[in-house]
Amino acid sequence: MTVTRRTSKNVLLDTALSNFYGAADEMGLEDGLVEILSRPERAISVSLPVVMDDGSTRVFEGYRVQHSTALGPAKGGFRYHPDVDIEECEALGSLMTWKCSLAGIPYGGGKGGVSCDPLELSTSERERMTRTFAARISPIIGDWIDIPAPDVNTGAPEMVWFMDTISKMRGRLEPGVVTGKPISIWGSRGRTAATGVGVAICVKELLESEKVDIKGARVIIQGFGNVGTYNARSLVKYGAKIVGIADMTGGYHVPGGIDIERAFEHVTNHPKKLLEGYTQPGLEKLSAEDILLVDAEVLSPCALEGAINAKNAGRVRAKYIVEGANGPVTPDADAILSDKGILLVPDFLANSGGVIGSYFEWVQNQNGFFWTEDEYNHRLIPIMTDNFYRVWNYSKAHEVKMRRAAFLVAIKRVADAVKMRGIFL
């Protein structure tokens, strides 16, 4: 049997497929499993008519992809962004499959979103769009089927609207249908910070493994949303020095170290939650692209995919890269960084704290019993640390890059589940 290797003009999907096929070849995965795992189980597109505040009606396009449910219900966020399409959701859904597998939790992978510019929408328009999206995909959503969560430009309010819509449609409370809810409505203490905390743990363990003192280590963080913020705040607690941060308004560079709590307060109080207008003594304003090229021990891209690519990878000066975003480094850039001797911790290992945190929230929802934040972090930190060293040790033992090692470990668990369950429907 000859497996037809899929390609895509979508950079993120092509990257995901390329990484999967490379790992599948290396582990000698049988052709039938390659065919199954290179395609999503289900992908749907829905139209979302929304009455706008001015009385007009706009129709948005929404998507949900369930890549795999071999290990359990699909798990993955939904995002609001102009570039959302079905191929992006497929790529991100496949990354969620490997991320959940690697994390050792009982989930498969999924992803969704709506193609829109959220900055153009009022709160009431966002609510109506979210509720329509929930209603349109409700037949394939459930706490034992597919469990959405926050992603780019979505958060606790969208999760409440989503949960409330599904609950009212089904005539019963469905708190476990989404994660990322506020603490006051079936949410979990510790969940908001979990992804960024997990990235910071990987930075810490990587530097310790490389015999580099984290105290005083210079870190650049591209992206200052939820992931970047809590990554930065956690690293400061470990003693690292954050010398650069960035969001869509540009890069902010302070060689002596950015006052992260001051920056966090600025973003919290900004009407659009941006760094725009942030200042402190010694600050140099750069473009969001140039911040990636600042000299530092660690670069942690926590924004959108493809930030480090063939055009700029050769100019990256950091010694280590820890991916907080999904797919921030393209395959071409991966090769360039490898040739430069830059060690990289891949996204679906480094940012898996979020989905582990979602799993914790889901477990609490199933039992109606909630943990303290200390209990939450007490469970999160050892899981993240163990996952890091499982990949680190595999990488060293088999002399492969950490991204390949992570794929090999994750794919094997899913492939074994598919073989044991068999092919049916």
- Catalytic member of 9, 75, 99, 111: 111
* Adjacent-strand bridge partners of 146: 74, 142
Torsion over CA: 328, 199, 18, 332 (sign): positive
Distances (CA, A) of 376 to 129, 192, 366, 379: 32, 11, 16, 5
What is the distance between the alpha carbons of residues 157 and 303, in angstroms, rounded to a whole number? 21
What is the distance between the alpha carbons of residues 297 and 320, in angstroms, rounded to a whole number? 6
DSSP state of 316: -
Residues 6+ apart with CB under 8 A from 88: 10, 12, 13, 111, 113
Residues 6+ apart with CB under 8 A from 201: 234, 353, 381, 384, 385, 388
What is the distance between the alpha carbons of residues 407 and 411, in angstroms, rounded to a whole number? 6
- Identify whether 285 is a catalytic site residue: no
| Phi and psi angles of residue 55, each rounded to the nearest 5 degrees, phi first | 95, -10
SS3 3: coil
Dig out the tokens for 389 from the structure: 């060293």
Please work out, in degrees rounded to the nearest 5, the angle formed at the alpha carbon of residue 129 by the alpha carbons of 85 and 55: 120
SS3 117: coil
- Supply the Cα-derived Rg of the chain in whole angstroms: 21
Report the candidate in 220, 228, 204 with the shortest Cα–Cα distance to residue 254: 220
Report the candidate in 173, 177, 168 with the shortest Cα–Cα distance to residue 144: 177
What is the distance between the alpha carbons of residues 300 and 223, in angstroms, rounded to a whole number? 9
SS3 298: strand
What is the distance between the alpha carbons of residues 89 and 79, in angstroms, rounded to a whole number? 9
Distances (CA, A) of 242 to 1, 53, 282, 291: 52, 42, 13, 12
Indicate which residues carry an active-site annotation: 111
